[in-house]
Every structure is written in structure tokens, then in C-alpha cells.
A = this chain, B = another copy of it.
Amino acid sequence: MDAIINPQRLMADLHELAEFGRHLTGVHRPTFTPQDMAARRWLVARMTAAGLAAELDGIGNILGRSPASGPRLLVGSHSDSQNHAGWLDGAMGVIFGLEIARSFLEKGLPGAVDCVVWSDEEAHFASFLGSRSAVGQLDESEIAEARDATTGLPLITALERAGLAELPRQRLPVGDYIGYLEAHIEQGATLEDNGLALGIVTGIVGIYQYRITLHGERNHAGTTSMARRRDASRALIALAARIDAHLSAHAASDTVWTIGSIRVEPGQVSIIPDLAEMHLQLRDVDPAVLDRLDADIRRITVEAGPTCRATLEMTARTEPSIMAEPLRNALATAAGRLAPGGWTMMPSGAGHDAQILAGVMPAGMLFVPSIGGISHHWTEDTAETDIILGCETLAEACRSLLDPNR
């Protein structure tokens, strides 16, 4: 079977996109900044040149519609970046969509591939801003309140400055598509550690997030006996150690958990703290695992004490998102042919626009290796052979989905 994509053209477009907001070997392209908007306008031009009917909408999304008929797939990712981050995170999936849509038109392959570019997946203003807007999960009040997490700039102002305020927000014509496919760098080291080139995503993890607070009594760190003190910091350490030990023993093999933040008040070396607080995050792809561990964490927290009362507040909760079986199968078949023995099924520990799309249509995702597992840093990279293999695998999966009887 002939290759579908043009590897030289793919790499050339990827490198050209990386010039917008270039930062050392990475990019600094926060959502709706001039460098982000220049990249989006360049993408509209590239799609148009490829024969797609490309349109930028009022929230920064770009939909490039193929003029072809027949069954239709949507392929893409996001083009905004974290601050001073990698050149492939989001951008690679976008250029894969462009290259596959372009190759299908060029070669006259059956069916249609549309390319999509989402805005603000990286949550400078709000998580999955663009994809949520496209599927009708973003209301005007959220837009009115959102601000840039780094600069504090209101989203409204950012949209005006970006020239987007006058454009309509477009709803995705969901019924037109048989599915959504997104390629992305893994952002972890599972593929590299196992010498694999491709990861087919089984599902995107759900994230349960908690603020756990210990309430003690502020007192003098010299004159208050150990028996009498109610030390919130000491109670927090004991509780956190108990929760960690429990998760180490009872979590699933893929579960990950992180205490990313700890705060102690008043935070002075000679004062027994009256308040200590931690943020705990739990991720797993299996809803049953999340619910079981959630119950355990709540029970362990309630049992904390006896000197300090513990309270738990769930601060965020997203359910796992399962990738559609027909799309996983199509990706697995393509991977088996193009990289025999070099691929695996795996969950995604990070969130992606595909989890928003999975709510309205079948969705699938493909991972390529991240060198050293590095992500959200300008040193992030992927071997060129892995990039090209990933794009061809995604294209081959599109061909089998759009022309199943071939």
C-alpha cells in the first residue's frame, strides 16, 4: 500500500509553525497573544492553499472543511502553547490534520477529512475553551468572567485585541462527522521507556481534586507542651502520609496522585500553625477505581485527629473519557501494519480536547513518544521518524474508517 502523507511537507509546515513565538528550541504562544494570532492566520492560509474552506471563529477556533463528499472525519488539535513550552504540544496534531486533509484531497481518497484547530486547550483563560465552545458547553457568563492566568487580562479584552470580538462563535456541525481523531505527544515516558513508537489511547483519565484542611490552634512553639498542642502542620503530615500509604497499597497500576501544593499558616518557625492545607489530585482512567479511592480518601480524612479537625472539599472533578472502540481498532490495525510490535494501548494521563469531543461523537487519540518524557518545557521534543510514523499511522486509520470496504 502506498504512503498517504508527504513527510517533507509535513516537517516543513511543523518547522514553519514553530517560528511563531519561537523561544529557544520551543515556543511561547499563549492564547490570543499576537504570536498566537499570527500562527492562526497562517494556519487559515495553509488550509486554504490546501483546498479547504477554512474559517476562524469568534473564540479562535479554525475549521477547515474539505470540499469532498462521503463519510467525514475531523482531525486536529490546538495551536496555543503553555508559557515557554514545547514546539509540538498541540501544534503537531494540528499539522497532522492539515497534512492528512491535504493528502486526501490531493490523492482523491474516498471520504472527507476536515482539519480543526482549537483555541486555549492550555487553559490560559479556561480549560478547553475552544472545543467546549464548539460543542455548546461554553456560555457567555464564563467568557465575561475569564481572565488570563498569567497576566490577569480579561478574555473579553483579549478577544477584542485579537480581532475576534466581531466574529461569530461557530457550533461544530456534529452530525456531519463519523468521528474525531487527535494526535499528540505523549508528555510522559511510557513509550520511550518501553522502546515503543506509538500509543493508542484507551481513554483520558478522570481527575478528582481535593483541598484538605487541618484546623489546629496557633500557639507558642516553645512554651506549649507536645501533649497540649494542636499542631495543624503535624496533623497534615500524618494525614498526607496515611493517604499516600493507602494509595500506594490500593490504587490501580495506572493511578497517579500528586500533592502539588501545601500551605501552612502563619508559616513562622516559632509558631505552632493553626491551619495547614494541601491540594491532592488523583487521576485514573477507570471510573470504578476513582470512586473507590475517593471513598477511601474521605474516610481516612474523617478519621484524622484527634487533635486537629480535618475538612475535605472536592475542588474539581472530571470523569474519565473512553475512546471509541472502532477508532481504537482502526488505529491499532494501522499501527500493527506500520510499526509491528512497536505500539501499545495506554491511557492518557493528561487532558485533551478529545475528551470534550468524545461527548458528542466517537473520538480517538494517538500518542508519539516524548524524548525523556519532557512536557510543558521548551526542551520538549520528539524524533522526526516518530513524528512521520505517527502522521502516516493516523492517515492510514482515517483511510480505513472512511473506506471500510476497500
Contacts and interface: CB of A to CB of B under 8 A. Distances in A.
Interface of A: 186-190, 193, 205, 207, 209, 219-226, 228-229, 231, 233-234, 237-238, 240-241, 244, 248, 251, 254-264, 267-273, 276, 279, 281, 283, 348-351, 373, 375-376
One complex includes copies of this chain to the number of: 2
B237 A187 contact: no
A289 B263 CA distance: 31
A364 B240 CA distance: 43
A234 B207 contact: no
16 contacts: A186-B223, A188-B222, A188-B223, A219-B373, A221-B256, A221-B281, A224-B349, A224-B373, A231-B258, A233-B260, A234-B244, A234-B259, A260-B270, A261-B267, A262-B263, A271-B376
A262 B178 CA distance: 51
A227 to B, nearest CB: 9
Contacts of A224: 188-189, 256, 349, 373
A269 B262 contact: no
Contacts of A267: 260-262
Contact of A349 (B222, B264, B349): B222
A248 B227 CA distance: 11
Contacts of A189: 224-225, 228
Nearest to A210: B269
